[in-house]
């Protein structure tokens, strides 16, 4: 089969023949959800005698991020006369023999992606009049490293709501950037201007340090309530413990 679709939907014809000029070509699109189809106007192909030319790349890729275990095609479609040969390299070296890599006229297909498939891939096209190459980067990520963009608050448990203004990564070591305040319990609000890490040993850096332990130190610059009846004004530090001592101005 000499007819292929490129990654952006164009029709690619390899080894063009005189009879290819006898056909009328149309593009038909179908809506993914509604099923509605549309058809372009007809087009004809003019086939001329070949002229010698240096190779060029008609379709290529720059970068991509794919989950481990999936398949991906790295497009590289070349033109030129004589017909150029195509060679693939990974991180500057020829691809080793691997049945998961399939070289096609339209590009390189990699099956069952692994983490070590990440790298810079080079498509090199050459004929007797010159050569051309394009480079793209493939990043293979694990299932637990999916990046989820966030522009509003999100909830990590029934009790904890943390606002977020940039992306965060869900992984065994979860890093969640924070530029606003967050609540760790019904009673305690802790301001934060840098990132914090949620892990079995939880470290949360803020504008100043705080320690979550039976002796908890918390900063306070206004009044606080230690019981429904008692309000303690404060301009310096106070300690929350079985015996609560209110004064504070330092870290918590």
CATH 2.60.40.10 positions along the chain are 53-143
| Token pair for 105 | 């006229």
Digit-coded pLDDT (tens) for 146-184: 555 544 444 444 444 455 444 444 334 444 444 444 444
Report the alpha-carbon distance of residue 139 to residue 121 in Å, rounded: 11
CATH T-level topology, domain 53-143:
Immunoglobulin-like (2.60.40)
Q: Exposed/middle/buried for 48, CB within 10 Å: 0-12, 13-18, 19+?
A: exposed
Q: What is the mean pLDDT of the chain?
A: 72
Confidence of residue 34 (pLDDT cuts 50, 70, 90): very high
Flag the least confident range among 108-112, 122-126, 179-183: 179-183
Sheet containing strand 85-90, strands side by side: 63-67, 130-141, 119-127, 85-90, 93-94
Is residue 97 within 8 A of residue 69, CB to CB? The reply is no
Give DSSP secondary structure letters for 170-224.
-SSSEEE--SS-EESSSS-EE--SS-EEESSS-B---SS--B-SSSEEE--SS-E
SS3 state of residue 59 = strand
Confidence of residue 209 (pLDDT cuts 50, 70, 90): very low
Report the alpha-carbon distance of residue 12 to residue 78 in Å, rounded: 10
Report the alpha-carbon distance of residue 141 to residue 66 in Å, rounded: 6
Q: Name the pTM for this structure.
A: 0.50
């Amino acid at each position: 089969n000499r007819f292929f679709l490129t990654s952006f939907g164009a029709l690619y014809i390899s080894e063009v023949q005189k009879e290819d000029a006898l056909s009328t070509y149309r593009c038909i699109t179908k809506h993914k959800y509604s099923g509605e189809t549309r058809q372009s106007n007809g087009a004809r192909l003019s086939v001329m005698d070949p002229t010698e030319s240096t190779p060029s790349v008609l379709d290529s890729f720059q970068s991509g991020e794919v989950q481990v275990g999936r398949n991906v095609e790295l497009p590289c479609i070349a033109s030129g006369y004589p017909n150029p040969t195509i060679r693939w390299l990974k991180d500057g070296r020829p691809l080793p023999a691997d049945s998961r890599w399939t070289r096609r006229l339209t590009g390189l297909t990699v099956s069952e992606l692994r983490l070590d498939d990440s790298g810079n891939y080079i498509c090199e096209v050459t004929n007797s009049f010159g050569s051309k190459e394009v480079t793209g980067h493939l990043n293979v990520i694990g299932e637990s490293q999916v990046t989820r963009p966030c522009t509003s608050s999100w909830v990590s448990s029934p009790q904890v709501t943390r606002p977020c203004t940039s992306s965060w990564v869900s992984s065994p070591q979860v890093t969640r950037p924070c530029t606003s305040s967050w609540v760790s319990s019904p009673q305690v609000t802790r301001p934060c201007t840098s990132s914090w890490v949620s892990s079995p040993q939880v470290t949360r850096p803020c504008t100043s340090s705080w320690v979550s332990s039976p002796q908890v130190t918390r900063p306070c610059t206004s009044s606080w309530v230690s019981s429904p009846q008692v309000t303690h004004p404060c301009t310096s530090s106070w300690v929350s413990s079985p015996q609560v001592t209110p004064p504070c101005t330092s870290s918590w």
